[in-house]
């Protein structure tokens, strides 16, 4: 394991950084000047591109004049210079308008533009990290990465990450507080060191000796990773001006960061390389937070001034409509790759990838429940008092899941029909992954047409190809959870599952939403290639028949689609529950579990008694030094509770006989049936 920062970074210094910093300091206080700066920057970049294209065209023409076969293209070539000259004239005219705007009454603007003109001659292209770079170049700037490991094992608390103070604590707990403070100091120091190594914008302004002054707060609600908000020191040391005798120069503080450190069991669940590829695709669409830099066990992301939704907000009618619109934009705005569509629904692939690890864990757990020592150990291990984690022994649960999978494929018209329905889905739209932006009073986000754009979707680590029905089923089930509940954060409250009318309103909003990507909008363009799309009435076109007949036909078609998607949601809900049962089992911990699994596998395969993770790779058993869940989330309780939802659905669909299940469990799941 590499040391925290004994690493090699893939980042190279940008020679234009100093010029950009000087220029940005002049414009950041004046929004009009900032607008001029951006337009003029684009103008110079566009002129450079056209000059380069003109030079390439001239080389091509000179190369083809010697070839008689090129004479057939003379007419086309003769027209191109005329078109190019007109475009160049238009750019020159735009430049003149900008310079006139910075006339006698705008001397600051004029000076800034002339200064920018000098800077643009010294550099080529936009600076790395510019928000506009992806709009004007085909080259995607690589995300900086570093071979480093950030240890957060002693900083998993949701407090104690505030900036250091000088207050003393004379209580009996002072020793423990001192150790905690020391751990947070080391953690903060390594964060700043990583930020420097990755050259995160603005964070060079934070000297290493001020690392303890940053604020690091862990966010609650993240179940797979540990997520922190990193804020710069409130009082940064100001640099001296060029004239050392002059006053200090004020400086803009570095931006806040979102720090994501991967969970210890994530290796069984997520392919991080594939996740980063997906995030790069989303970044090109301006969807979700940008990845700023990566390290071995985590990454830094763009921080949004936003707050996560609450469980109650998730169920508000207007909020639900906004979520439906965002979901439609994601599904139709990101094209699936051919191999993703051919690979089929990711929910099937996840089950296939996780099932071996689940079998190892549950086989050991089931044997422990039947062991003579179970009652004695149950006093200190609550999971032993709850019975089988899947409600029944593992072989019966696995058989039920795989039987339902075959039934589901047949009910949906076969695997080929399912593949045609696939969209790019988020697959984890719980309330903590939906942020409400808090814009300024003059923000265009406050316009009625843009209200849904105040919602930002984050955490795309489970994003992949799935059906809209599965996406709806997953989201509707999240209405039943409150991961911040003080007593039962793992419990699924089936009574909160959306009613048929609430489902219909959500699906109808999804189907009728027709987003249009304006300039700079975070909403992608909709191409309507998927089967879920219904073209709204074209009020500008000439009707083929009476308008009333057209409207009636549209309403009938829409109603058919709504009912079909609600039916699909009902069917995919069962498989969705099975997936999250497996997810909880994979992340579960219990005293002696890893060692017990290793012994169990060694006994069954003496030649190579190694454990394989969910990806089929050899894995060294972990040492069970401390299995207490630092964040207090009980993954085994979550898995068992969700398994009851799975069984209640099978019972409701008449796909399992009550006699096949334990009698006490049948009584319990009957009370939890949601038959819509």
Number of domains composing the chain: 3
C-alpha pair distances (Å), 539 with each of 108, 391, 449, 551: 49, 55, 19, 10
| Candidate from 152-166, 235-249, 612-626 with smallest mean pLDDT | 612-626
Residues 629-672 have pLDDT tens digits of 455 789 999 999 999 999 999 999 999 999 999 999 999 999 99
CATH code of the domain covering residue 268: 3.30.200.20
pLDDT (0 to 100) of residue 485: 94
CA 33 to chain CA centroid, nearest Å: 34
Q: Which residue in the block uniquely carries the two structure tokens 């169990």?
A: 600
CA distance 192 to 188: 6
Same domain, 267 and 349: no
Domain carrying residue 39:
17-65+74-126
Determine, yes or no, domain membership for 658: yes
Res 629: pLDDT: 44
Whole-angstrom distance, CA of residue 133 vs CA of residue 140: 8
Tokens coding 254: 């570095």
Q: Are residues 370 and 457 in the same domain?
A: yes
Could you tell me which residues are beta bridge partners of residue 225? Answer: 262
Same domain, 95 and 217: no
The per-residue pLDDT for 60 is 60
Sheet holding 306-308: strands in order across? Answer: 306-308, 434-437, 455-457
Can you tell me the distance from the alpha carbon of 508 to that of 559, in angstroms, rounded to the nearest whole number? 8
- CA distance linking residue 99 with residue 94, whole number of Å: 9
Based on the domain organization, do 395 and 531 belong to the same domain? yes
Nearest-angstrom CA–CA distance, 292 and 280: 11
Lookup: tokens for 292:
């700023």
In a shared domain, residues 293 and 187: yes
Model pLDDT, residue 578: 98
- Same domain assignment for residues 298 and 354: no
Residues 510, 374, single domain; the answer is yes
Residues 179 and 115 in one domain: no
* Four-point Cα dihedral 424, 427, 433, 438, nearest 10: 30
Nearest of 161, 250, 264 to residue 213 by alpha carbon: 161
pLDDT of residue 397: 98
Is the pLDDT at 138 greater than 90? The verdict is no
Whether 53 is in a domain gets the answer yes
Let me know: does 345 contact 456? Beta carbons within 8 Å. Answer: no
Residue 9 β-bridge partners: 146
Same domain for 525 and 665, yes or no, is yes
**Which spans in 200-345 are helix H?**
272-284, 311-314, 317-333, 338-342
d(CA 68, CA 148): 60
What's the mean per-residue pLDDT of the chain?
Answer: 78
The tens digit of pLDDT for each residue in 553-596 reads 888 999 999 999 999 999 999 999 999 999 999 999 999 999 99
159 Cβ contact list (under 8 Å, min separation 6): 217
Which of 302, 321, 336 is the C-terminal boundary of a domain?
302
Q: What are the residue ranges of helices labelled H in 497-626?
A: 500-512, 547-586, 593-604
Q: Which residues contact 613 (CB under 8 A, 6 or more apart)?
A: 267, 268, 357, 619
Cα separation, 393 vs 362, whole angstroms: 8
Q: Are residues 288 and 382 in the same domain?
A: no
**CB contact at 8 A, 371 and 381:** no
Range from 454-458, 498-502, 543-547 that averages highest in pLDDT: 498-502
Dist CA 17 CA 29 (whole Å): 19
pTM: 0.70
Tokens of 322: 């906004």
The percent of residues above 90 in pLDDT, for the chain, comes to: 51
Residues 424, 386 share a domain: yes
The conformation of residue 244, written as its DSSP 8-state character, comes to: T
Pairwise CA distance, residues 121 & 204, whole Å? 26
Distance of CA 15 to the CA centre of its chain: 32
């Amino acid at each position: 394991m590499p040391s925290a920062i004994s690493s090699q970074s893939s980042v190279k210094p940008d020679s234009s950084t100093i010029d950009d910093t000087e220029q940005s300091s002049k414009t950041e206080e004046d929004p009009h000047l900032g607008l001029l700066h951006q337009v003029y920057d684009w103008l110079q970049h566009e002129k450079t591109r056209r000059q380069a294209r003109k030079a390439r065209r001239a080389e091509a023409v000179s190369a083809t004049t010697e070839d008689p076969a090129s004479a057939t293209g003379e007419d086309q070539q003769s027209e191109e210079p005329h078109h190019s000259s007109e475009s160049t004239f238009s750019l020159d005219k735009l430049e003149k308008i900008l310079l006139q705007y910075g006339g006698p009454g705008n001397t600051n603007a004029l000076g800034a533009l002339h200064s920018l003109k000098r800077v643009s001659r010294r550099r080529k292209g936009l600076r790395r990290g510019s928000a506009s770079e992806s709009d004007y170049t085909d080259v995607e700037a690589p995300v900086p990465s570093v071979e480093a490991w950030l240890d957060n094992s002693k900083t998993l608390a949701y407090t104690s990450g505030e900036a250091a103070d000088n207050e003393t604590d004379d209580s009996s707990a002072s020793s423990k507080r001192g150790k905690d403070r020391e751990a947070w100091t080391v953690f903060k120091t390594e964060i700043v060191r990583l930020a420097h190594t990755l050259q995160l914008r603005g964070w060079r302004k934070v000297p290493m000796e001020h690392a303890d002054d940053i604020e690091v707060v862990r966010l609650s609600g993240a179940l797979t990773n540990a997520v922190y908000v990193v804020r710069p020191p409130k009082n940064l040391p100001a640099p001296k001006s060029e004239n050392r005798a002059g006053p200090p120069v004020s400086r803009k503080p570095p931006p806040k960061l979102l720090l994501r450190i991967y969970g210890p069991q994530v290796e069984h669940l997520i392919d991080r390389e594939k996740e980063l590829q997906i995030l790069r695709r989303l970044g090109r669409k301006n969807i979700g937070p940008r990845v700023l830099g990566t390290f071995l066990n985590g990454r830094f992301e763009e921080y949004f001034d936003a707050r996560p939704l609450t469980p109650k907000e998730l169920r508000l009618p207007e909020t639900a409509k906004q979520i439906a619109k965002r979901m439609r934009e994601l599904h139709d705005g990101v094209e699936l790759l051919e191999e993703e569509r051919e690979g089929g629904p990711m929910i099937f692939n996840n089950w296939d990838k996780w099932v071996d690890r689940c079998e190892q864990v549950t086989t050991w757990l089931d044997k422990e429940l039947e062991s003579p020592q179970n009652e004695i150990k149950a006093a200190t291990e609550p999971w032993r008092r709850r019975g089988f984690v899947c409600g029944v022994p593992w072989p019966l649960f696995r058989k039920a899941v795989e039987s339902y999978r075959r039934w589901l494929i047949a009910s949906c018209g076969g695997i080929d029909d399912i593949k045609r329905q696939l969209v790019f889905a988020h697959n984890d739209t719980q309330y903590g992954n939906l942020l409400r932006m808090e814009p300024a009073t003059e923000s265009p986000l406050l316009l009625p047409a843009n209200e849904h754009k105040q919602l930002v979707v984050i955490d795309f680590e489970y994003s992949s190809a799935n059906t809209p029905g599965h996406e709806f089923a997953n989201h509707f089930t999240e209405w039943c959870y409150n991961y911040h509940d003080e007593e039962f954060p793992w419990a699924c409250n089936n009574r909160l599952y959306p009613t048929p009318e609430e489902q219909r309103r959500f699906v109808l909003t999804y189907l009728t939403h027709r987003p249009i990507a304006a300039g700079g909008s975070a909403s992608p363009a909709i191409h309507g290639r998927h089967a879920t799309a219904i073209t709204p009435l074209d009020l500008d076109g000439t009707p083929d028949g009476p308008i009333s007949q057209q409207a009636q036909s549209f309403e009938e078609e829409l109603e058919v689609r709504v009912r079909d998607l609600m039916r699909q949601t009902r069917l995919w809900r069962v498989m969705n529950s099975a997936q999250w049962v497996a997810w909880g089992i994979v992340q579960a911990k219990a005293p002696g579990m890893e060692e017990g699994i290793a012994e169990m596998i060694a006994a069954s395969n003496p030649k190579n008694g190694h454990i394989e993770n969910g990806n089929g790779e050899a894995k060294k058993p972990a040492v069970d030094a401390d299995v207490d869940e630092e964040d207090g989330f009980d993954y085994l309780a979550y898995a068992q509770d969700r398994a009851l939802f799975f069984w209640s659905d099978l019972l409701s669909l008449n796909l399992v006989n009550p006699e096949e299940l334990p009698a006490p469990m049948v009584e319990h799941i009957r009370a939890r049936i949601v038959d819509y």
